[in-house]
Each structure stands twice: as C-alpha cells, then as structure tokens.
Amino acid sequence: MPLTGSSTDLRYRACVIGCGRVAWLLEDDPLETRPCTHMGAYTALSHRVKVIGAADVNNERLISFGKRFGVKSMYLDYKEMLKEVSPDIVSVCAYAPDRSGMVMDSIEAGVKGIWCEKAFSASLEEARAMRNACSSNGVSLIVSHMRRWSGDYRKAKEIIDSGGIGKLQSIICHFSGSLLHTGTHAFDILNWFCGPAEWVEGRVENRPGNSAWDTDEDLGGRAVIHFRNGSYAMVSAESKNYFFFEFDVIGASGRIRIGNNDVLEYYRPGASAHYTGIKELQEVPFPYFEKKNIWVEALGNLIDSVEGSGRPADGPEEGLSSLELALAIHSSARQNGARVYLPINNDITVRSR
C-alpha cells in the first residue's frame, strides 16, 4: 500500500527533479513510441502513483511542465520541494554531476523509491555512497538503463543463458560517443550478458587543447574488456555524425545482433551452401517475446520494489558497475592504455549529461 495519502487517494506521491527532455519533453517527439519519458510512465500508471511536485532551475520550463500535467507545487529549489511535499517517490532527471546530491537529499527526506537517470553519477565515490545510503535506509532505486526492461534484450539474455549460442566468446559493441551518458547503457548490457569484468584496456578521444588522453570530459573512446567468465568485449565509441547503438554477440554455436533501428537477428549453425561438410551460420527466426513499454515496466518495477514484491532490475549495484566500466576506460587512457583491473579505486570525476 502507498506510504502516504488520504482515505480518498491511496496513490503514491511522486516528485520530479529536472524538467527537461527525459522528464517529459520527448513525449512531443512524433517519432517516439509513447510513453517515452518519466512523466509518460507516471501518466500511464496514474492509478498507482500521482506526481504532485516538480523542481527545475529553469522557471520557464517549470511553468510549462506544470501547465502540461496539472502539477501545482512547483519549485526552483528541489530541497525546498522535498521538505514541503514529502514525496514517496522521486525522479532525478538532472545532469550527472548533480544527481548524487539529489539522491542523497531525497533519501534524507524519507523517500522510499528513486528513479535515477544515467549515468548513475560522475564518480565512483559518489556512486558508492548512494548505493550504501539506499541499502542502509531501505530505499529502492532504479537506474535508467532502459534496455533491462525491454523484451528483445530480455529474450537475448535468455538465449545466452540457456546455451542458445553456445559458450559466449565475444561481444562487439558500437555506439556514438560519450562513455558515461550513452556508454553506461552499453556497459550495463555487457555486464548483464557477460557478468563481472576482470580488466579493461582503453583509450579516450582527445580534443584540441587537451593533453593526449587526459580529459575529464564525457567523450567517446575505444576499449577491450575481459570478463571473469572468459569472454571479451570490443567497444568502439568514437564520435559520429549519426546515432548508432548495437551489439554483435558471438558464441561457439551461434550469434545475436541486437541494437537500435530495429536490429534483431539470430543465427545458428547449418549446412554450408558453399562447402561440403562445413557448417556456417544461418539466420533463424528470433524467438517470440512480449512487447511491453519499457518506461511503464521500469516504473512498475520500482513501485513493486517499494512494496516488497520484487527487486529493481537495474538498481544501485548495476548502476555502479556500469559507471565503473566507463571510468575504468578513462583510468586506462590516463595510463596510456595500460590494463586496469577491477574493482578500481580512484578519484576520477567525469562531467556528463
């Protein structure tokens, strides 16, 4: 049951910190499959949760948000909102360098559920403090690595775990720049498919005016990652003039290609049409999976976790692990591509959206 509310309204009370694109503006993109934002999900699950407050330093955007969704409690100072509104659930949609303070302040204010955008934080020190605070205070938190709630990625994970491509050997991962903002999505999938990483060797893109491979900006790069299960990932994340996000998953007995732009392919060995007695990979139908909206699924998962009927599919530990891979690449780059073993302990802070 909701933690607060009157006898006439037993829904959870939620607040949104940061009223930008992922909070609600993307709902107006005609090409998006809606709901596609935090507010889209809250609206879809309005029978379970009600947004009663929002905060943003941009007053014009704040006013637009309030008019659009009928939210009357609007604040330029999120701390004031937390104190006066006392929400059960908070969405943290601000930029990464600000998320840690917002999450910690929300926990101190007594919330029981947090939906935190990615990257989880800008440093491992902050991320570990957030994880520990959630655990100590019994707060459920999900990180917006949204593919964890996507039917196609869940089915791919099921195929890998059931031996559908044989022993997992390698994954080639491509995406368009930014190792934290975009990259933690990719690193979360790599951790999910492969398990814990053992070491990383990486390089980070350089910009004119920076010393070679020495930057605290969220740039792209390249990396080789070795996982404890013996598999490898090759990451190509240079800046591009187009959006690209794709995995090529190779096993001893099959292959999966999955990514944006509706890439979803499954291959199994079959008799070669070119060589007698040789098998080659042939595309087979990708197994059926139920298509559900990932935003609604994520919010539902958070509410279920708050109620004790499940755990976050992508919680603080997962958010920390994906961030650690991104920062390990930065750490390796600062050592001229040297091998860096996990877990890492350093004070690297990278500015990210």
Per residue in 195-247, pLDDT (tens digit) is 999 999 999 997 666 554 556 889 999 999 999 999 999 999 999 999 999 99
The answer to whether residue 7 scores a pLDDT higher than 70 is: no
**Least confident range of 2-6, 68-72, 115-119, 319-323:** 2-6
Would you say residue 4 has pLDDT above 90? Answer: no
Sheet with 89-92, edge to edge strand ranges = 73-75, 49-55, 12-17, 89-92, 113-116, 140-143
Question: Is residue 1 over pLDDT 50?
Answer: no
Say if residue 99 is in the same domain as residue 115: yes
**Domain of 237: which CATH number?**
3.30.360.10
With respect to residue 7, please indicate whether it lies within any of the assigned structural domains: no
pLDDT digits (tens, 9 = 90+) for 102-156: 999 999 999 999 999 999 999 999 999 999 999 999 999 999 999 999 999 999 9
Question: Is residue 1 assigned to a domain?
Answer: no
Residues 275 and 171 in one domain: yes
Q: Do 284 and 142 belong to one domain?
A: no
When divided into structural domains, the chain yields a total of: 2
Share of the chain above pLDDT 90, in %: 90
CATH number of 97's domain = 3.40.50.720
- pTM of the entire structure? 0.94
Q: Is the pLDDT of residue 310 over 80?
A: yes
Residues 276 and 158 in one domain: yes
Range of the domain at 71: 12-147+296-315
Confidence of residue 271 (pLDDT cuts 50, 70, 90): very high
Q: Has residue 346 been placed in a domain?
A: no
